[in-house]
Amino acid sequence: MNVNAFWEWAKHDPDRIALITAEGETQTFGELGARVNQLSHALQTLGCQRGDGVAILLNNHAEWAEVFLATHQIGMYLTAINYHLTGPEVAYILSNCEAKVFITESAYSDAANKAVNELGFDRHHCFSIDPLAGFQDYETLLAEHSAAPPQERSAGNLMLYTSGTTGRPKGVRRPLSEGPPETSAAMSALLGMLFDIQPGSGSHLVAGPLYHAAPCGFAMGALHLGQSVVLTKKWSAEDCLKKIQGHQVTATHMVPTMFHRLLELPESVREQYDLSSLKNVIHAAAPCPADTKRKMIDWFGPVIYEYYAATEGGGAYVNAHEWLKNPGTVGRAWPGAELIILDDDGNALPPNEVGTIYMTSPMGEFKYFKDDKKTAESARGKMFTVGDMGYLTEDGWLFICDRKSDMIISGGVNIYPAEIEAVLHQHPQIGDVAVLGVPDEAWGESVKAVVEVAPGVIPSDELAEDILAFAALNLAKYKLPRSIDFIDQLPRLPTGKLYKRLLRDQYWKGTEKKV
């Protein structure tokens, strides 16, 4: 038995629990495997062939996993679309990825219908997992087909789209593997094992939307390792603790914003929950202030792992013990990857000098679908960058400074907002914060902090002064915010990434916008 492939678990241990839905319903590996096979046959009957695409606009339902596993055993590309997008935005991705089949749900009927109508998409290839006018019934599609494995099986792949914070999102496409799906699944399972997640018993809590690469990768990797996957549709701090205790969760993937929300819970609430089942709490996607991470390690124990990667690949990783010896690092290159820091002319920089981070990935080469220009711009030989800046120590530890596009240049001096945000996050009355450069006639740009206050706190001029005084105790003078604005809620993507472009555009409106 290949212990690193879902289909083998479904065959040899069918009664093992595979999924626990947000509504509390359970599905065994055998039951899920049968539905995956039915969908595989159905897609082939619809005329789908190896290399074709399926697009989904779904929340974290059991059907999400079904489509993933079906496309991945019949050699298809799966594109999961961000369910926060509008109709025209969905239409762009649905068209760009060249999907042959579109699967959605009634919760997103407006965007789904607008996209289908705009494209003239074949309604006979449009399905909904619940009643939705104009869409075929997903359950009827499955019921018409055999639960036996399809005869023609081959490895499929994801083609996810970048978040699109600058310009339109781009599909990240890799060649399909020539091997069987089990081989590809084993590679996926290795991602979890890199973070010490072992095959067999255990359960993984899905804390983020599955349309994002990381929650998807770790959740599906957990299924390949024979573990139960606990689905959530909307994350909240105390509910997270309830699920960890209630389902004896052993692993989960989070983003730093979730750490902040967990730490905001009163001590009396935190003490109610037994978290001793946790073995692997993995985080990434945004900078995590060192003080925040220390507090999480003190609370959860040395089970916290961090990594640096992107939809395009990666990367670096570090466990809690290593991080405590090198606080602030996002890790060293993981097996099969390489990291290097280059200047603007493509020259390698020595240790501890800040430049653009380039890397290779064990996931193999990729292209931005239908965008050779962007593919070429991101690459130097076999290495690629997503525009982050940082440095490597003599021992190979990687430290992230910021996105190149977010860097502030004030009076000719480079200032990295992430460093300032990490300090301000420690102010007890700040719930969330974004730092950006705004127009300044004398300096070109000046530093502004946009603050979302903590629950129960009222914004005021006095609070702004207190925040600035706090910053002055912890930051060099040239890094200090020159002003503070308060906002009801910062525009964060569900993945935890700050949609800073929305903020920046407000301040640069009518001037030459900073890209």
What pTM does this model have? 0.83
For 205, the enclosing helix (H) or strand (E) is strand 203-205
Contact 67, 38 (CB under 8 A): no
Instruction: Please name the residue ranges forming H helices in 26-79.
Output: 29-45, 62-71
pLDDT tens digit string along 384-440? 998 888 999 999 999 988 777 788 888 777 788 888 998 899 899 999 999 999 988
Q: What are phi and psi of 424, to 5 degrees?
A: -65, -30
Residues of the chain scoring pLDDT < 50: 164-166, 513-515
Contact 49, 92 (CB under 8 A): no
Kindly report, as residue ranges, where domains of CATH 3.40.50.980 are found in the chain: 6-173
- Give the Cβ contact number of residue 408 at 10 Å: 24
Give the integer Cα–Cα distance in Å for 129 and 103.
Answer: 8
CATH classification code of 409-508: 3.30.300.30
Contact 334, 314 (CB under 8 A): yes
Kindly report, as residue ranges, where domains of CATH 3.30.300.30 are found in the chain: 409-508
Give the integer Cα–Cα distance in Å for 227 and 242.
Answer: 19
CA separation, residue 201 to residues 150, 228, 361, 374, 441 (Å): 28, 8, 29, 43, 61
Give the integer Cα–Cα distance in Å for 245 and 230.
Answer: 12
Q: So what's the pLDDT on residue 513? A: 44
For 426, the enclosing helix (H) or strand (E) is none
The residue behind tokens 């915010």 is 481
Closest CA to 401 of 389, 393, 411: 389
User: Alpha-carbon torsion 360, 364, 365, 369, what sign?
Assistant: negative
pLDDT tens digit string along 349-397? 999 999 999 998 877 788 889 888 888 888 888 889 988 889 999 999 9
Give the integer Cα–Cα distance in Å for 262 and 264.
Answer: 5
DSSP state of 338: E
Q: Which fold has domain 6-173?
A: Rossmann fold (3.40.50)
